[in-house]
Copies of this chain bind each other. A is one copy, B any other.
Amino acid sequence: MRIALDGMGGDKAPEAVVKGALRALGETPSDVELILVGQPQVLEPLLEREGAPSDRLRLHPATQVVAMDASPGHALRRLPDSSIRVCYNLHKSGEADAVISAGNSGATMALGVVVMGRLAEVDRPALASVFPALKGPTLLIDVGANVDCTPLMLMQFGYMGSVYAEKVMGLTHPKVGLLSIGEEPGKGNTAVKQAADHLNSSGLNFIGNVEGRDMFVGDTQVIVCDGFVGNVCIKLVEGFADTFEYFFREYMSHSIKGRLGGLLLREQFRDVASRLDYSNYGGAPLLGINGVGLIAHGASSPKAIATAVRVTADTVRAEVTRHLAEGLEQYRGRLLGEAALD
């Protein structure tokens, strides 16, 4: 198995990506090989410094880099040899089985869709993100690929999320909920209310509407929302975690009691912060493209990159793309029929 890893993408790239790649080799079975993609003059010295083994890691050149703040359109039209695009080219040609990038997420999504193409039954690929929850992980889909969603798109997100939860997260008959503003049927905006009707007759294990707070409970394994709402949610959670940490630091520095208590609980603080930090869940899979693409967090550390490689290897091994295609195939008539009505 070969995974193409964007060596140039991410706030801490290229150092964190190179270190993460080496860490990943130590944490994954020996059949996992990495293709590090990027500018050789930047990556080669780093690999030499880290003493990278050559048998499971090789460099593949890409002359251009997509800046973190570049528009997806710029990446698509002006950067034919960007590290992200070259990763997908390798995947498309069969030289790689999956792509990981911690770089510009808009460009990574757009290039994933354009280079790999969509699965036949999917109108729009969606980005999914795993959240920690009390009773186990929850998959939120979409977290940013589609900002304006039709009810039918929301239903497709439910299908894709359900297949991913079953095949990669190992959940049996996962419960699918629709993010809304009240649990009662009929609550929500126009698109959500119509999506609930679609999902009710979808054959999925659809449990109805869920609310923001349910994302952390874990009773619902797949939560469907449009990419605008989902993206606001994941960034809100990031901000909240940072604020909580800041408050505590401030408090603990103010008294001897606080400092002592903080010392005693230091490991716990770290552990809780880590359990609640979604960036430790490996990244967000882009579901619905004709391939495997994982969008790692922009601020990914070496550890996060290593986790992303592990999750991606699991995704390839679980043959998620095939299962998505087959899972959606059985609903093809329904999907096409309703698409025609939309």
Contact = CB atoms under 8 A, between A and B. Distances in A.
A265 B262 contact: yes
B228 A189 contact: yes
A236 B239 contact: no
A181 B268 contact: no
Interface in A222-257: 225-229, 231-244, 246-248, 251-252, 257
A318 interface: no
Contact of A189 (B147, B179, B180, B240): B147
Nearest to A238: B213
B212 A235 contact: yes
A192 interface: yes
Given A251-B268, A272-B248, A237 B212 contact: yes
A123 B241 CA distance: 36
Contacts of A236: 212-213, 215, 233, 236-237
A264 interface: yes
Interface in A93-110: 106
A192 B228 contact: yes
A211 interface: yes
A240 B243 contact: no
A268 B252 contact: yes
Counting contact residues on chain A (CB < 8 A from B), the size range is 35 or more
A187 to B, nearest CB: 8
Given A148-B190, A265-B258, A232 B229 contact: yes
A286 to B, nearest CB: 16
Interface centre among A144, A234, A236 (most CB of B within 10 A): A236
A342 interface: no
A216 interface: yes
A212 B188 contact: no
15 contacts: A144-B181, A147-B189, A148-B190, A212-B231, A213-B238, A216-B243, A217-B239, A233-B233, A240-B240, A247-B275, A248-B272, A251-B272, A261-B262, A261-B265, A261-B268
Interface of A: 69, 106, 133-134, 144, 147-148, 179-182, 184, 188-190, 192, 211-217, 225-229, 231-244, 246-248, 251-252, 257-258, 260-265, 268, 271-272, 275-276
Given A134-B246, A247-B272, A262-B265, 15 more contacts: A148-B189, A181-B228, A181-B231, A188-B228, A189-B226, A211-B239, A212-B235, A217-B239, A225-B232, A228-B229, A236-B236, A247-B275, A252-B265, A261-B263, A261-B265
